[in-house]
A and B are shown apart, each in its own frame.
Chain A
Amino acid sequence: MACLEDYLRKGSMPHIWCAGCGHGIVMNSLIRAIDKVGLDKNRTVVVSGIGCSSRAPGYMDFDTLHTTHGRALAFATGVKFANPELNVIVITGDGDASAIGGNHLIHAARRNIDITTVCFDNSIYGMTSGQFSPMTPTGRFATTTPYGNIDQPFDLCELVKGAGATYVARSTTYHAPLTVNLIAKALAHKGFAFVDVLSQCPTYYGRRNKIGGGVEMMKWFRDHAVQVQKSRGMSPEELADKIVIGEMHSSVKPEYTGEYRKIIDRAQGRGPES
């Protein structure tokens, strides 16, 4: 593989992430996956929303677009649809993707547009100093759930699968080689691909919930992760505090920009129904 540094903008370092944060591991995994699949740096666009995770594209040596909160997939849809030859990757956080950007997430999945989305999922709003997100587990503490969270979290993988995504997977920062493989498969997939990567926020989530620092949080991922194949034989009670990892779903459906290419052909009198 090429030197990983070739994919980084060293001039934009140091990064903003806290000591122990998992986001560097996820970005590292994404870069390794890009290298593994062999994407052309000049033909690859990385788009993000707002939040800690969404600062990653600024450190990556591609055409990069740091958009408004929640709207990465809307902007990315414009990039991809205007020039389907480009590889388009979206980096988003759990709040960015599932709260303010939830509508765009389900509709990008529904269209099955050829965009790979990697969710840096640390179950908290880190940038604004630790408020609960739609991915914060019930009962956990955040700066806006001082008595414990009564919200139910999403299962993001089930959500995007239900909305029509054709590649869905989950991993954690502890399982870095698996993360690389899953993102590589997502990048190679034609259609909307979603990889949920659980990441640790020791500063706001680990500390407030007394899990510990970055290493302890990654050990927690190790101890609570269950491979998807194994999970299928487990009861809901057994899975209650588990993280199911691996490839959740892979299917083939017509891809949006390809379908529109047919519309152009038809409108220009080249199609079968012209």
Chain B
Amino acid sequence: MNEMNRVRLMQGNEACVEGALAAGLRFFAGYPITPSTEIAELLSERLPRVGGRFIQMEDEIASMGAVIGASLAGAKSMTATSGPGFSLKQENIGYAALTEIPCVVVNVQRVGPSTGMPTSPAQGDVMQARWGTHGDHPAVVYTPWSVGETYSLTVKCFNTAEELRTPVILLMDEVVGHMREKVALPAVGDLEIVNRRKPDKPSRDVYLPYDPGDGDIPPLAAFGDGYRFHVTGLTHDMRGFPTNDSKKAEYLHRRICDKVAKRRERITIVESRDTADADVVVVAYGGSARPASRAVTLARGAGVKAGFVRLVTIWPFPAEEVASLATHASRVLVPEMNLGQIAGEVERALKGRAPVTHLGKVGGVLFTPEEILDAIKGV
């Protein structure tokens, strides 16, 4: 793309594709599912142009497996899906978390459970993005509210995945995925691009794929580099081989969670405005944050001291940031297109300092600003 057309009208799903390619995506495996399909369609055309590879797999499970295999072969890899597919991918997402294979999973949320409403927006997968796979595991989840932010957050997802050696989830919703907005894409040279750390020892030396050395994230070689290492979804030692040693198991399971927890502040992105004197603070994210933002503006115009907090990172949950931004609030309102998922986290973060009201919607329609305004006013 030349500089002339870096300002473009595009869809959220399209911005995700542009961001992924800018971040260095070279492998995509997917399965058709609404409302994420445009991502696969566009990448089937774009990836071979940059020497990358696109494959439509036989199912969602296979797509996730192929993404992990490709990442181990050295390619920055991604898949995209929606609720039903996200459910099917969960076992392999846990595999990537335990084996510390970087990859990006995009979930353009629709109404669930089950087949639900395939072309209608929802935010019902928030808890699944955190706890969808079995066992304790780390989760890094970003949620964009605009087309432009979808681009920048997709880049961030890859950077975080590569740096932390962990799967990262871009939790979009149908509103953002299908919405079209004017976007000014940054020049690719202006982007910070992170690539996974590779072992610096010559290949003939012994490489321990799960030895973090002085840090807490081990370097990752690619298959074919000559290290001849083992990767298993069984709990493993630093060599990568299965172990039943409880000390080694305790160490591994804590390390993969701690490496994310320790970087919580750096991972966390929260935006806010008008919170300093706010009586009512609205905490929103994703597509719902758009009418919420408008509602806060309308409330201020009507003389209500309302403040706005938008969560860009939802996992790890930005509890400290939310608590400090709502310090003086007498009430906190959480509008989300589900029956109460982030609201519970906000409540935990506030530890009873202010009552939390949840405003839910699960009929497949986005809030209007007026609906949220009424809730701000306590109507």
Residues 36-66 of B contacting A (Cβ, < 8 Å): 45, 48-49, 51, 53, 55, 57-59, 61-66
Residues of A within 8 A of B57 (CB): 74, 77, 107
Residues of B within 8 A of A73 (CB): 62
A57–B233 CA distance with the chains assembled, in angstroms:
13
Question: Which one of B29, B58, B203 lies within 8 Å of A107 (CB-CB)?
Answer: B58
Q: Is the CB of A78 within 8 A of B67?
A: yes
Question: Which one of B62, B228, B229, B230 lies within 8 Å of A71 (CB-CB)?
Answer: B62
Return the CB mask of A3-32 against B: 1 if under 8 Å, else 0.
000000101100000000000000000000
Does B226 have its Cβ within 8 Å of any Cβ on chain A?
yes
Q: Is the CB of B48 within 8 A of A83?
A: no
Question: Which one of B48, B74, B232 lies within 8 Å of A268 (CB-CB)?
Answer: B48
A32–B205 CA distance with the chains assembled, in angstroms:
26
Question: Quick one: which of B49, B62, B92 has the most chain A CB within 10 A?
Answer: B62
With A86-B73, A268-B51 in contact, do A63 and B227 touch (Cβ < 8 Å)? yes
Segment of A38-46, A149-157, A178-186, A205-213 engaged in the interface with chain B: A38-46
Q: Is the CB of B27 within 8 A of A57?
A: no
Segment of A117-125, A169-177, A222-230, A259-267 engaged in the interface with chain B: A259-267
**How many B residues are at the interface, by size bracket?**
35 or more
Does A2 have its Cβ within 8 Å of any Cβ on chain B?
no
Q: Is the CB of B55 within 8 A of A74?
A: no
Question: Quick one: which of B59, B66, B72, B226 has the most chain A CB within 10 A?
Answer: B66
A61–B241 CA distance with the chains assembled, in angstroms:
12
Q: Is the CB of B227 within 8 A of A77?
A: no
Question: Which one of B45, B69, B73 lies within 8 Å of A74 (CB-CB)?
Answer: B69
A49 to chain B, nearest CB (A): 10
Residues of B within 8 A of A83 (CB): 73-75, 222-224
A62–B226 CA distance with the chains assembled, in angstroms:
9
Question: Which one of B49, B75, B224, B232 lies within 8 Å of A66 (CB-CB)?
Answer: B232
Residues of B within 8 A of A68 (CB): 65, 91-92, 95, 233
Residues of A within 8 A of B71 (CB): 78, 82
Does A104 have its Cβ within 8 Å of any Cβ on chain B?
yes
Does B231 have its Cβ within 8 Å of any Cβ on chain A?
yes
With A66-B234, A67-B233 in contact, do A82 and B74 touch (Cβ < 8 Å)? yes
**How many A residues are at the interface, by size bracket?**
35 or more
Q: Is the CB of A267 within 8 A of B48?
A: yes
Residues of B within 8 A of A264 (CB): 48, 51, 53
With A57-B230, A66-B230 in contact, do A77 and B66 touch (Cβ < 8 Å)? yes
Residues of A within 8 A of B27 (CB): 78, 81-82
With A47-B69, A66-B233, A268-B49 in contact, do A78 and B29 touch (Cβ < 8 Å)? yes
B200 to chain A, nearest CB (A): 18
A272 to chain B, nearest CB (A): 15
Question: Quick one: which of A42, A63, A68, A266 has the most chain B CB within 10 A?
Answer: A63
Q: Which residue of B lies closest to A55 (CB)?
A: B242
Residues of B within 8 A of A47 (CB): 69
A34–B231 CA distance with the chains assembled, in angstroms:
21
A45–B74 CA distance with the chains assembled, in angstroms:
13
Question: Which one of B48, B77, B224 lies within 8 Å of A85 (CB-CB)?
Answer: B224
Residues of A within 8 A of B59 (CB): 103
Residues of A within 8 A of B222 (CB): 83
A75–B231 CA distance with the chains assembled, in angstroms:
12
A76–B55 CA distance with the chains assembled, in angstroms:
13
Does B26 have its Cβ within 8 Å of any Cβ on chain A?
yes
Question: Which one of A42, A57, A74, A268 lies within 8 Å of B65 (CB-CB)?
Answer: A74
Question: Quick one: which of B51, B71, B224 has the most chain A CB within 10 A?
Answer: B224
Does B70 have its Cβ within 8 Å of any Cβ on chain A?
yes
Does A37 have its Cβ within 8 Å of any Cβ on chain B?
no
Residues of B within 8 A of A104 (CB): 58, 62, 65
Question: Which one of B51, B55, B226, B241 lies within 8 Å of A81 (CB-CB)?
Answer: B55
With A63-B229, A74-B57, A81-B70 in contact, do A103 and B62 touch (Cβ < 8 Å)? yes
A77–B55 CA distance with the chains assembled, in angstroms:
9
Q: Which residue of B lies closest to A257 (CB)?
A: B53
Pairs A–B under 8 Å by Cβ, sample size 7? A45-B223, A58-B230, A66-B230, A67-B68, A67-B233, A267-B49, A268-B48
Given contacts A71-B65, A260-B48, 13 further A-B contacts (CB under 8 A): A9-B230, A43-B224, A66-B232, A74-B57, A77-B66, A81-B55, A82-B26, A82-B73, A83-B222, A103-B62, A107-B58, A266-B48, A267-B49
- Among all A-B residue pairs, the 3 with the closest Cβ atoms: A78-B69, A74-B65, A78-B66
